[in-house]
């Protein structure tokens, strides 16, 4: 069977102020339906760039991204995205935010309400339906953002460091919530993180990226049985192994010219 | 000890400075330190203000009704005329500026086309249009409303443009990801995101309209608060001048309070709007 997401020889070059940055170089990647894939790497290695290419916000400079056999050219509701900054619409209530995707699809009002209520109670937000995002904590806002993409019923979820700004307890909570949703709905998830722990906890497969140019350094299968125990020795073995790879790239990041500029 | 609600205490504290200013002013006047031709006593101003407010004819039960009579005083009619001009001018100016600003903000080509003209016209104060306004519209309400609409137009236009251009890209990406087309994106995302800017523009616009109405009434019409204080000057009625100015202040305060509550209602979702 063909992979659901196929990235072929994808490169992305940004040019700013005359200089060129190769954010992605020759990426080849096959992701099968139902997989939970983490993209791992130091800041600036091109994780968001790759995710944005798959989402259709910013196509690769060369090469292709195909989803279900079709070349991705624009964003679409089949690839729901959860942003690091939550990106809730502050002028809509929690319920309106969650229902917005359905409203765009011209779903009947009664059906929207039913589905919004269902999702909000699934994410334990039912008491906040008529509140505005400003009244919610970061963790709650991110749960709303997750409910908002779940409402789309998109087969693919793209998540760009969604839990990066949260404290570790809230973070673990949401990770478990996400895993529940993933098992229940059988979605394909591509999850960007720079936490090694998070990727070992969540992923079937972790892709470690290199820093400048962004390439795939290693494609790592994680077969630990779920519910994973972060205290287990196998878990820590894997963490150590991944850490070795990431730290190599982190060093290159530290030595890079951006870093030098920042210090001057 | 009796405990007063905080609100009452705050209001009382707010009254301290105005009350002392008036007390000093009154004391100086009644001691004869100030020439009443130059600055009349507060009591004289209040008496004149009440006089100005009072209906001009005695109540006649056979006439057009009690309310009509009650509001037939010169002050009420002047305030009404001025307010009418402000509202009409503001609605015309803002009503033209809003769609134009939305278009200029959303469409880069159109922006580049119109922006040079806007930049040239913008620094011209509305007052500078007075000769042209009289030449084009003669005397009466039309030139006044024209001047006021110019005063309201530019603040609303410029703020609307920057509101639309400053919409955080993350909202647009989120909406497009949810499948929003251009029309939905505009109505449900760009417009609400730009609302705080648009309302700021409206607020500045109505402030300008209020300044322009007074000036244009001094030139083009023979009623309204601006006309009345200029007329009072010709008779050297300084108490009436001050009574008129006081009315202008009250009206401005009323408009500002109205805009504020509109703001709070439309921006109840906005951070930093809870107070
Ligand atoms: N719009 C852009 N214009 C120019 N350069 C860009 C642009 N977007 C990204 N880059 C560059 O491409 C590289 C990859 O950026 P990207 O945002 O994908 O990194 P990232 O791995 O997501 O990092 P982080 O973990 O900090 O989010 C960076 O070096 C960045 O400077
Ligand atoms: Mg990123």
Residue B272: inside a domain, yes or no?
Answer: no
Q: Using CA atoms, how far apart are residues B70 and B59, in angstroms rounded to an integer?
A: 8
- Number of folded domains in chain B? 1
Largest CA distance in chain A: 59
Q: Using CA atoms, how far apart are residues A9 and A64, in angstroms rounded to an integer?
A: 7
What ligand has the least distance to the C-alpha of A40? 1
Q: Which residues of B touch A91 (CB under 8 A)?
A: 192-193, 195, 269-270
Neighbouring residues of B150: CB distance < 8 A, sequence distance ≥ 6? B93, B126, B129, B212
Lowest mean pLDDT across A19-23, A48-52, A109-113, B96-100: A19-23
Confidence of residue B12 (pLDDT cuts 50, 70, 90): confident
ipTM associated with this complex: 0.86
- The minimal CB distance from B178 to the residues A90, A100, A134 is found for A100
How far is Cα of residue B106 from the mean position of the Cα atoms in its chain? 28
Statement: residue B19 has pLDDT above 80? yes
Place of tokens 């009434």: B217
Q: Using CA atoms, how far apart are residues A69 and A65, in angstroms rounded to an integer?
A: 9
Boundaries of domain holding B110: 73-266
| Ligand 1, atom 7, residue with closest C-alpha | A14
| Ligand 1, atom 29, residue with closest C-alpha | A44
Statement: residue B274 has pLDDT above 60? no
- A10 forms beta bridges with A27
What's the Cα-to-Cα distance from B131 to each of A258, B136, B148, B213, B229, rounded to whole Å? 60, 9, 14, 15, 22
Residue B93: inside a domain, yes or no?
Answer: yes
Residue B62: inside a domain, yes or no?
Answer: no
A226: nearest Cα among A162, A178, A157: A178
A116: nearest Cα among A105, A126, A127, A131: A126
Q: Using CA atoms, how far apart are residues B171 and B264, in angstroms rounded to an integer?
A: 22
Statement: residue B32 has pLDDT above 70? yes
Tell me, what CATH number does B83's domain have? Answer: 1.10.3720.10
Closest-CA distance of chain B to residue A175, Å: 22
Cα B107 to middle of ligand 1, angstroms: 27
pLDDT of residue A1: 63
pLDDT of residue A103: 94
Residue B84: inside a domain, yes or no?
Answer: yes
Statement: residue B237 has pLDDT above 60? yes
Statement: residue A262 has pLDDT above 70? no
The whole-number average pLDDT for the span B48-63 is 81
CB B89 within 8 A of CB B146: yes
Confidence of residue A183 (pLDDT cuts 50, 70, 90): very high
Residue B9: inside a domain, yes or no?
Answer: no
Neighbouring residues of A11: CB distance < 8 A, sequence distance ≥ 6? A22, A24, A25, A26, A27, A60, A61, A62, A63
Confidence of residue B88 (pLDDT cuts 50, 70, 90): very high
Residue B23: inside a domain, yes or no?
Answer: no
Q: Using CA atoms, how far apart are residues A42 and A36, in angstroms rounded to an integer?
A: 20
Statement: residue A255 has pLDDT above 80? no
Confidence of residue B275 (pLDDT cuts 50, 70, 90): very low
What ligand has the least distance to the C-alpha of A258? 1
Q: What is the pLDDT of residues A38-52, one digit of tens each?
A: 999 888 889 999 999
Domains of chain A from N-terminus onward: 5-78+154-263 (3.40.50.300)
What's the Cα-to-Cα distance from B92 to each of A147, B146, B220, rounded to whole Å? 43, 9, 19
Q: What is the pLDDT of residues B120-168, one digit of tens each?
A: 999 999 999 999 999 999 999 999 999 999 999 999 999 999 999 999 9
| DSSP character string of B30-70 | HTT-S-TTTS--HHHHHHHHHHHHS-SS---TTSS-HHHHH
Q: What is the pLDDT of residues B246-261, one digit of tens each?
A: 999 999 999 999 999 9
Q: Which residues of A touch B171 (CB under 8 A)?
A: 87, 89
Q: Do A55 and B177 touch (CB under 8 A)?
A: yes
Closest-CA distance of chain B to residue A200, Å: 28
Q: Using CA atoms, how far apart are residues A244 and A84, in angstroms rounded to an integer?
A: 26
């Amino acid at each position: 069977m063909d992979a659901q997401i196929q990235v072929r020889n994808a490169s992305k070059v940004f040019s700013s102020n005359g200089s060129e940055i190769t954010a992605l170089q020759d990426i080849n990647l096959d992701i099968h339906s139902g997989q939970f894939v983490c993209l791992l790497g130091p800041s600036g290695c091109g994780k968001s760039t790759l995710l944005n290419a798959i989402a259709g916000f910013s196509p690769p400079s060369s090469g292709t991204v195909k989803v279900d056999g079709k070349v991705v050219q624009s964003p679409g509701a089949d690839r729901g995205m959860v942003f690091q900054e939550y990106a809730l619409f502050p002028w809509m209530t929690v319920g309106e935010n969650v229902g917005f995707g359905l409203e765009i699809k011209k779903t009947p009002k009664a059906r929207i309400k039913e589905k919004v209520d269902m999702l909000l109670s699934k994410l334990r937000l039912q008491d906040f339906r008529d509140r505005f995002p400003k009244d919610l904590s970061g963790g709650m806002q991110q749960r709303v953002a997750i409910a908002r993409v779940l409402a789309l019923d998109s087969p693919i979820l793209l998540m760009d460091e969604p839990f990066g700004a949260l404290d570790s307890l809230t973070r673990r909570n949401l990770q478990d919530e996400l895993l529940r949703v993933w098992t229940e709905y059988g979605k394909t998830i591509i999850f960007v993180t720079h936490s090694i722990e998070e990727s070992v906890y969540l992923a079937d497969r972790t892709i470690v990226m290199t820093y400048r140019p962004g390439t795939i350094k290693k494609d790592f299968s994680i077969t630990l049985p779920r519910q994973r125990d972060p205290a287990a020795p196998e878990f820590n073995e894997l963490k150590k192994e991944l850490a070795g790879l990431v730290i190599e790239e982190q060093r290159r990041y530290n030595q890079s010219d951006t870093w030098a500029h920042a210090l001057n | 000890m009796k405990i007063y609600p905080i609100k009452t205490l705050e209001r009382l504290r707010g009254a301290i400075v105005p009350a002392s200013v008036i007390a000093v002013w009154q004391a100086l006047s009644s001691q004869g330190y100030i020439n009443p031709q130059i600055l009349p006593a507060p009591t004289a101003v209040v008496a004149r203000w009440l006089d100005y407010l009072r209906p001009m004819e005695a109540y006649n039960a056979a006439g057009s009704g009690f309310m009509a009579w009650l509001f037939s005083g010169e002050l009420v009619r002047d305030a009404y005329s001025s307010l009418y001009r402000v509202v009409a001018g503001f609605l015309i100016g803002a009503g033209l500026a809003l769609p134009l600003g939305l278009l200029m903000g959303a469409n880069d080509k159109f922006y580049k086309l119109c922006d040079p003209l806007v930049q040239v016209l913008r620094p011209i104060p509305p007052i500078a249009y007075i000769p042209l306004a009289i030449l084009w519209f003669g005397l009466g309400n039309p030139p006044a409303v024209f001047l006021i609409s110019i005063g309201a137009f530019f603040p609303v236009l410029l703020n609307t443009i920057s509101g639309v251009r400053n919409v955080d890209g993350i909202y647009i990406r989120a909406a497009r990801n949810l499948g929003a087309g251009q029309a939905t994106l505009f109505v449900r995302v760009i417009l609400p995101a730009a609302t705080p800017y648009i309302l700021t523009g409206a607020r500045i616009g109505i402030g300008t309209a209020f300044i322009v109405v007074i000036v244009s009434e001094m030139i083009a019409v023979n009623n309204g608060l601006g006309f009345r204080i200029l007329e009072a000057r010709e008779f050297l009625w300084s108490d009436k001048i001050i009574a008129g100015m006081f009315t202008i202040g009250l009206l401005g305060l009323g408009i500002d309070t109205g805009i504020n509550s509109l703001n709070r209602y439309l921006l109840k979702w906005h951070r930093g709007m809870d107070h």
